């Protein structure tokens, strides 16, 4: 653009200075991290013993499905009945077809999945620019996440990879496809619904009410399509098992609540108390923090639906996408869950950097805080709280 002089005329032959070239260091460092972590994953698969937990149960459940069983109450493994939606069966049926049910080739497949998942997470951080480029290495520090992917082969790995893929699509404003992929993640493990409140909030901020409706309709249609073989034959059994909101966890496998007596752990009182605390936390933070500039949660919802009373607004409203890249943190920070088992670190491992940076003002302090968070999460996944006193006595 020509520069305008004192008298309003553009100075002949002069132009504004060229824009600085984009900083390629984050992309280059991310590529280096992917190569380095791929080498690390290969070493883990080659030299670290596989941990037998759920793989045999997964394969037994897949066998029952492939043999024609459609009653969810009769599909079981050695760890108990099937409690995951239909997408889980399709994914692990494909895995068994590719690996013949053998652990080692499955580990290689999950190693590739780990790199794909890490690529998606790195892309989110590079695009949102919440960390300096050299701090991206923090995303590769968790020993537990590596173990969950390539040594334990949990279905959480596929669920979170699909979720991160949905988040990347949403960052690039591909809302409808993003919602379908999000629904695919839910079909593998229902816990992905913990991210639904933040997703709905982002949708209401970015889309017309009509757009929100059709996006949700597409997500629901995928659930119906995947569950069709079971819904047509045993609908009650499928819904009650695959989407059981009242399922009681086994006290033996608990991590953070091992110190709670088993009788209280399995009680409805604890479940209701945690649910109320969860929902209250979401409402308070949404009202006073994330929607503060919109006048709070209730004013925001009222204004959005009031605007939608106009047919023209309902049909032609344009999405407000200018701030969505930064607001993607809602996806992480709105998700408040009480993890029961150690593999749930794969659900929150990618959010630690967002929490560290957005809760602290100084990047150096935030990174130091992140290192402490990683250490604490690794410790709590390895050592239940009830054993900390014994550790203190020993040392």
Long-range contacts of 68-75, Cβ-Cβ distance < 8 Å, separation of 24 or more: 70/229, 70/230, 70/233, 70/234, 71/233, 71/234, 71/237, 72/230, 72/234, 72/237, 72/238, 72/240, 72/241, 72/242, 73/234, 73/237, 73/241
Mean pLDDT of the region 302-311: 68
Mean pLDDT of the region 120-126: 91
Least confident of 36-45, 71-80, 301-310, 344-353: 344-353
pLDDT exceeds 90 at position 375: no
Residue 77 backbone dihedrals phi, psi, to 5 degrees: -135, -175
Report the percent of the chain where pLDDT is more than 70.
Answer: 69
Task: Please report, for the chain, the start and end positions of each structural domain, with discontinuous segments joined by +.
Answer: 25-243+253-348+356-394
- CA–CA separation, 137 and 244 (whole Å): 38
- CA–CA separation, 271 and 337 (whole Å): 12
- CA–CA separation, 120 and 169 (whole Å): 10
What is the C-alpha R_g of the chain? 24
pLDDT at 317: 47
pLDDT exceeds 50 at position 395: no
**Cβ neighbours for 165, distance < 8 A, ≥ 6 positions apart:** 120, 181
Q: How far apart are the first and last CA of the chain?
A: 69
pLDDT exceeds 70 at position 374: no
Long-range contacts of 351-356, Cβ-Cβ distance < 8 Å, separation of 24 or more: 352/138, 352/377, 353/125, 353/130, 353/131, 353/135, 353/138, 353/139, 354/130, 354/329
Tokens of 357: 């940076």
- CA–CA separation, 280 and 268 (whole Å): 18
Mean pLDDT of the chain: 79
pLDDT exceeds 50 at position 174: yes
More confident position, 254 or 321: 254
Tokens of 124: 């989110």
Reduced to 3 states (helix: H, G, I; strand: E, B; else coil), residue 36 is helix
Render pLDDT for 232-272 as a digit per residue (tens, 0 to 9).
Answer: 999 999 999 999 877 766 666 666 667 777 787 778 888 78
Give residue 91's Cα distance to chain centre: 18
pLDDT band at 384; cut points 50, 70, 90 = very low
Please, are residues 270 and 264 in contact by the beta-carbon 8 Å criterion? yes
Report the percent of the chain where pLDDT is more than 90.
Answer: 41
């Amino acid at each position: 653009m020509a520069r305008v002089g004192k008298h309003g005329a553009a100075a002949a032959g002069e132009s504004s200075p060229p824009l600085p070239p984009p900083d390629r260091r984050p992309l280059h460092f991310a590529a280096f991290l992917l190569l380095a972590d791929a080498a690390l994953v290969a070493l883990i698969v080659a030299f670290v013993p596989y941990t037998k937990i759920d793989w045999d149960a997964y394969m037994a459940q897949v066998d029952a499905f492939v043999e024609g069983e459609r009653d969810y109450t009769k599909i079981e493994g050695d760890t108990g009945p099937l409690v995951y939606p239909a997408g889980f069966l399709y994914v692990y049926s494909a895995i068994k077809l590719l690996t013949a049910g053998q652990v080692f080739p499955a580990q290689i497949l999950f190693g590739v999945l780990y790199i794909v998942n890490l690529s998606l997470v790195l892309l989110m951080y590079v695009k949102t620019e919440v960390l300096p480029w050299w701090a991206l290495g923090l995303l590769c520090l968790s020993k537990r996440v590596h173990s969950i992917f390539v040594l334990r082969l949990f279905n959480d790995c596929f669920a979170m990879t699909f979720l991160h893929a949905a988040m990347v699509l949403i960052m690039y404003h591909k809302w409808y496809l993003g919602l379908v992929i999000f629904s695919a993640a839910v079909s593998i493990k229902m816990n992905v619904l913990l991210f639904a409140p933040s997703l709905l909030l982002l949708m209401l901020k970015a889309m017309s009410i009509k757009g929100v409706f059709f996006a949700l309709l597409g997500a629901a249609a995928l659930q119906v399509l995947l569950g069709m073989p079971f819904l047509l034959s045993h609908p009650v059994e499928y819904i009650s098992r695959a989407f059981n909101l009242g399922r009681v966890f086994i006290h033996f496998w608990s991590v953070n609540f091992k110190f709670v007596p088993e009788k209280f752990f399995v009680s409805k009182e604890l479940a209701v108390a945690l649910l109320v605390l969860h929902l209250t936390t979401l409402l308070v933070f949404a009202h006073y923090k994330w929607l503060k500039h919109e006048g709070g949660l209730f004013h925001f919802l009222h204004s959005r639906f009031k605007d939608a009373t106009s047919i023209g607004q309902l049909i032609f409203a344009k999405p407000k996408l200018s701030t969505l890249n930064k607001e993607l943190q809602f996806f992480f920070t709105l998700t408040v869950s009480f993890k029961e088992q150690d593999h749930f670190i794969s659900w929150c491992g990618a959010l630690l950097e967002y929490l560290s940076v957005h809760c602290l003002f100084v990047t150096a302090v935030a990174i130091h805080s992140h290192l402490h968070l990683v250490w604490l999460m690794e410790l709590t996944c390895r050592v239940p709280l009830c054993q900390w006193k014994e550790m203190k006595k020993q040392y």
